[in-house]
């Protein structure tokens, strides 16, 4: 049975919507383009993702982060104590899981993938990066699709995989300057090595031709996944296409990144109205 939110179910969902609006504006806008009865549940999913993603920012050492992520595992698996109901995101998520029979293992896998964020270890390979994005960004699209399809399997798993990797990878490239200053690096070691660049070239802001070539390869990887998603998109059931709307931002964001004079100093920010317009046009087909 879902834990009753301490502040009431409607208030819990309202809290989720406010959190997503603050922490994940792209997905907030995409949810507003979904049917009204599905929006609260999309906000619950996206709020959960935002809470888990920002654990690294709230800690000073990995161990407290591991403890916080374990709390979320227990909450998702139904092993949490009574304090789950006092957490509006956890309570709204539990209600959404129950309403749409969402697979708990996918949520646990998302949490497990976020353990990587707690440490400054290098991302070993392209395959590891795609796996990380598959369990986070792609899984979120897949879960949102299940909500939009009233808990029934609507298909589209391959499209979700490619769309999630494309969007997630583009997001990491946009966040690169900020994350590099923290010592966090998601550029795969095999790509850096192939272009004669090192981790220190990135985190210390040295840059150089090798780093620029590695970033160009990363943008090409994102474009490849987005192109495959574009091929699959016409076959998606109309009811679930809202879950894929953030992927509409990928081409414009990649073009802006390509024009950036110094990709390690700052990332270009496209106007909010342009981002919303891109998703609105995608929603219209």
H helices of the chain, where? 9-23, 25-32, 39-53, 62-76, 88-100, 104-113, 126-133, 139-148, 157-174, 176-181, 189-194, 199-203, 209-232, 250-259, 272-283
Note the pLDDT tens digit of each residue in 149-208: 999 999 999 999 999 999 999 999 999 999 999 889 999 999 999 999 999 999 999 999
Provide the mean pLDDT of the chain.
94
Mean local confidence (pLDDT), 14-28: 97
Q: What is the DSSP code (8-state) at residue 152?
A: S
Q: How far apart are CA 24 and CA 228, in angstroms?
A: 25
pLDDT digits (tens, 9 = 90+) for 106-143: 999 999 999 999 999 889 999 999 999 999 999 999 99
Supply the pTM of this predicted model: 0.94
Query: How far, CA to CA in Å, does 275 sit from each of 3, 15, 99, 280?
Result: 36, 24, 31, 9
Domains of the chain: 8-119 (no CATH), 133-285 (1.10.600.10)
């Amino acid at each position: 049975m879902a834990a009753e939110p301490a502040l009431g179910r409607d208030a819990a969902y309202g809290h989720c919507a406010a959190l997503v609006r603050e922490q994940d504006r792209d997905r907030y806008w995409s949810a507003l383009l979904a049917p009204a009865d599905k929006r609260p549940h999309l906000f619950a999913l996206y709020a959960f993702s935002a809470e888990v993603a920002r654990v690294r920012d709230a800690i000073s050492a990995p161990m407290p982060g591991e403890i916080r992520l374990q709390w979320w595992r227990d909450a998702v698996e139904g092993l949490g104590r009574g304090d789950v109901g006092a957490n509006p995101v956890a309570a709204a998520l539990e209600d959404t899981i129950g309403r749409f029979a969402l697979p708990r293992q996918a949520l646990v896998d998302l949490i497990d993938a976020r353990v990587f964020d707690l440490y400054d270890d290098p991302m070993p390979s392209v395959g590891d990066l795609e796996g990380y994005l598959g369990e986070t960004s792609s899984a979120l699209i897949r879960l949102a699709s299940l909500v939009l399809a009233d808990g029934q399997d609507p298909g589209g798993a391959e499209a979700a995989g490619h769309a999630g990797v494309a969007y997630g990878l583009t997001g990491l490239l946009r966040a690169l300057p900020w994350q590099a200053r923290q010592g966090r690096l998601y550029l795969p070691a095999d790509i850096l090595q192939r272009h004669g660049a090192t981790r220190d070239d990135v985190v210390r802001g040295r840059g150089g031709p090798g780093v620029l070539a590695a970033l160009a390869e990363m943008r090409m990887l994102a474009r490849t996944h987005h192109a495959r998603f574009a091929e699959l998109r016409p076959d998606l059931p109309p009811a679930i296409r809202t879950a894929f709307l953030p992927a509409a931002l990928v081409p414009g964001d990649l073009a802006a990144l390509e024009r950036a004079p110094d990709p390690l100093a700052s990332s270009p920010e496209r106007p909010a109205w342009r981002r919303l317009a891109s998703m609105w046009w995608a929603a219209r087909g």
